[in-house]
């Protein structure tokens, strides 16, 4: 694997998703090394980026989740340094990281996504929540605009719950997405290059697919293949690919979608640096196509060759 040169696997960082990134990064590092790639760990919370050039790295495999790694910041720095890297560029990362602007873009393009409103730290007032809740059907999902891994998310169906949920979410972000609650199953579609991989349905006994269901529970169920007809599966994959490209994302990533009670798809968000442990969703989808973890990380890295 000398064609890749010296590879920095970038993980850790200082976002709220640091611990998850450490797990993903260690798995990617082990996979690349097992494939014979000259890969080395690099935690930007502990080392300055300038050391990438000083130590002769040729390219970067980005496994930094959350702010600083998934929002275009790192990508801009690597562009400036002239170092190729995995995944989306500055625009795709910045847009996808911002759930509010992603939904604005999708809505403007006519792609299906649930109705929503925005609470901003500088203008939010508690007396707004009643009207907001009524406009969104009486039950909502509250999400910090720029956090991942379900951090800061909550369901609300009363004025007091909504006020508390918004105030809690404002601890993580200055802008909060309040989205009409979708009562239906959740799916995710992984993207690899120009291909949408088989959809996965996530089933949990929790109120929703939250942090605990994602990373701590042993009871969460992942269905791949899921119980969609061939036509429904193809429709979902095509929608995910359109949603991914709409925000300028490229290379690899994941699109999260729900299906409402009336059978309509509703786009949730795009992840440009999704989880990459052996049991994460992208590796599960790749495995369904016959691509094991080692082959997957090499395929992602190969996209940096241009």
Active site members: 17, 149, 280
Phi, psi of 35 (to 5 degrees): -85, 0
Tokens of 152: 């800061």
Burial of 203 (0-12, 13-18, 19+ CB in 10 A): middle
Q: Could you give phi then psi for residue 225, rounded to 5 degrees?
A: -70, 150
């Amino acid at each position: 694997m000398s064609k890749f040169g010296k590879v920095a696997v970038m993980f850790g960082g200082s976002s709220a998703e640091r611990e998850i990134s450490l797990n993903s990064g260690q798995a990617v590092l082990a996979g690349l090394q097992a494939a014979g790639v000259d890969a080395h760990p690099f935690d930007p919370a502990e080392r300055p980026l300038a050391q990438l050039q000083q130590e002769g790295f040729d390219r970067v495999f980005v496994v930094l989740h959350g702010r600083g790694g998934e929002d275009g910041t790192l990508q801009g720095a690597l562009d400036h340094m002239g170092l190729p890297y995995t995944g989306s560029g500055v625009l795709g990362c910045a847009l996808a990281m911002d759930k509010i602007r992603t939904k604005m873009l999708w809505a403007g393009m006519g792609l299906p996504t649930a109705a929503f409103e925005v609470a901003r730290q500088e203008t939010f007032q508690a007396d707004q929540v009643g009207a907001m809740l009524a406009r969104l059907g009486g039950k909502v999902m509250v999400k910090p605009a720029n956090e991942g891994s379900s951090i800061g998310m909550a369901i609300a169906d009363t004025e007091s719950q909504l006020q508390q949920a918004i105030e809690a979410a404002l601890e993580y972000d200055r802008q909060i997405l309040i989205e009409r609650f979708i009562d239906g199953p959740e799916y995710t579609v992984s993207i690899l290059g120009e291909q949408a991989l088989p959809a996965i349905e996530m089933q949990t006994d929790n109120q929703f697919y939250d942090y605990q269901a994602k990373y701590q529970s042993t009871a969460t169920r992942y269905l791949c293949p899921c119980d969609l007809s061939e036509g429904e599966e193809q429709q979902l994959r095509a929608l995910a690919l359109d949603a991914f490209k709409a925000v300028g994302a490229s290379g690899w990533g994941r699109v999260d979608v729900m299906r409402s009670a009336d059978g309509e798809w509703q786009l949730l968000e795009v992840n440009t640096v999704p989880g990459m442990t052996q049991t994460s969703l992208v590796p599960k989808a790749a495995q369904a196509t016959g691509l094991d973890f080692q082959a997957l990380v090499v395929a992602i890295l190969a996209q940096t060759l241009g």
